[in-house]
Structure 1
């Protein structure tokens, strides 16, 4: 096995981050700071790069579950816990931003929040964001797993949850693992059905977002909420 070249101190990720800020580092270098050490024949930066390739990018890596990470060469219990913690902190940070701000003023943050929870999933999930009268996030709940339809998402359950959370508005979101960006006829039918059900209790359905592995489509922006 060849000896690895020694990286000068000033070129190492931690030193470069402190000197130039985190934006100056590549994703593998940022991962190296979290991982701290590599494995025989592979330093921490190379390990970070290999992990991103194995999980199809940074989002895939940070969305992986504990079992998948633990089965990966170079990731023991400690590194797995560190990656899971970073991923969860990122999701919670987005949630705090929406709870303290105004969702309608930050549609990009709403899309990021939905993507962080749904983009990596291999099976369709439907999630509801419950908002207060200022359109700040109160909480979010998973409504269903599996193919989205009126049979799998019960409007009465969404109405019940909206009342329980004292919500004034709701944003619906679900993923298309296939990568199809456009809403299906079932998606549009469910949107209308749920909007009408929520109107009965004076709660607005503000948007329905479709999340793919690469994009988030807003039905409100498309004009499909009418």
Structure 2
């Protein structure tokens, strides 16, 4: 007598257990992360359903946090994830990142270090290289835009006042807040961080655009230059 079947395809599952049907009936909030990811990759292979492949990805890379900075090549390490599936996953992650950034940028006011850190922490805390962004503010401290200025660390050879203030001037900003990340997880500013910040504060005073603060995001921690009295 044959044993019970335990490896079902998604089509063989009860309708109420299929990710697409469950989403349509109950809403996306009722799906697990693996089920949502399965809807993105759409199909499984001969050995694994789409849900199982999605769970394999999550298990191998440590959940959603581990997926967000992977290349298509890295995603294909998992057996069953080919070029097409990797591209689909990569595209959805990038769309999610952009949607999160838009939502954050539409927050009305940024008038203190906590608000500045919260605005960008979600997308910057897990970056693997240093990125400098600038929160541009109007006269009422409302966010105008959050352009990226540089990648690869803060040094005088990479970060020039001209690049920092170019967008601020173009968008008629009244003030700005510098934000960059430390992939090490340690928010302690380097000598270059402090030196460049002082230079930018001085430049801002000359051209009439206030540098209100410089925030370093490091994992779940942040540091405010203003709070620490560093300028």
TM class by smaller structure = 0.7 to 0.9
Answer yes or no: is the 8 Å Cα contact 2:133–2:146 preserved in 1.
Answer: no
Q: TM-score if structure 1 supplies the norm length?
A: 0.78
Answer yes or no: is the 8 Å Cα contact 1:170–1:205 preserved in 2.
Answer: yes
- Distance in 1 (CA, whole Å) between partners of 2:105 and 2:222 is 22
- Distance in 1 (CA, whole Å) between partners of 2:93 and 2:138 is 26
- Distance in 2 (CA, whole Å) between partners of 1:120 and 1:92 is 15
Q: TM-score if structure 2 supplies the norm length?
A: 0.77
**Corresponding residue number in structure 2 for 1:163:** 169
Answer yes or no: is the 8 Å Cα contact 2:110–2:116 preserved in 1.
Answer: no
Is 1:78 equivalent to 2:84 in the alignment? Answer: yes
User: What is the DSSP-based 3-state SS (H/G/I as helix, E as strand, rest coil) of the residue aligned with 2:147?
Assistant: strand
Is 1:138 equivalent to 2:145 in the alignment? Answer: yes
How large is the RMSD of aligned CA atoms in angstroms? 3.1
Structure 2 unaligned spans of 5+? none
Deviating 4+ runs (over 6 angstroms): none
- Distance in 2 (CA, whole Å) between partners of 1:109 and 1:188 is 18
Q: 1:90 aligns with which of 96, 102, 123?
A: 96
- Distance in 2 (CA, whole Å) between partners of 1:137 and 1:3 is 55
**Corresponding residue number in structure 1 for 2:118:** 111
**Corresponding residue number in structure 1 for 2:224:** 219
- Distance in 2 (CA, whole Å) between partners of 1:220 and 1:9 is 55
User: What is the DSSP-based 3-state SS (H/G/I as helix, E as strand, rest coil) of the residue aligned with 2:110?
Assistant: helix
Write the deviation string for residues 28-71 of structure 1: whole angstroms up to 9, x where unpaired.
12111211222332222221222123333313313323343355
Answer yes or no: is the 8 Å Cα contact 1:129–1:141 preserved in 2.
Answer: no
- Distance in 2 (CA, whole Å) between partners of 1:206 and 1:79 is 44
Answer yes or no: is the 8 Å Cα contact 1:47–1:74 preserved in 2.
Answer: yes
Post-superposition offset of 1:207: 3.5
Write the deviation string for residues 169-222 of structure 1: whole angstroms up to 9, x where unpaired.
22322222222233334323333332222222222223433233x325141684
Which entry has the higher C-alpha Rg, 1 or 2?
2
What is the aligned residue count? 222
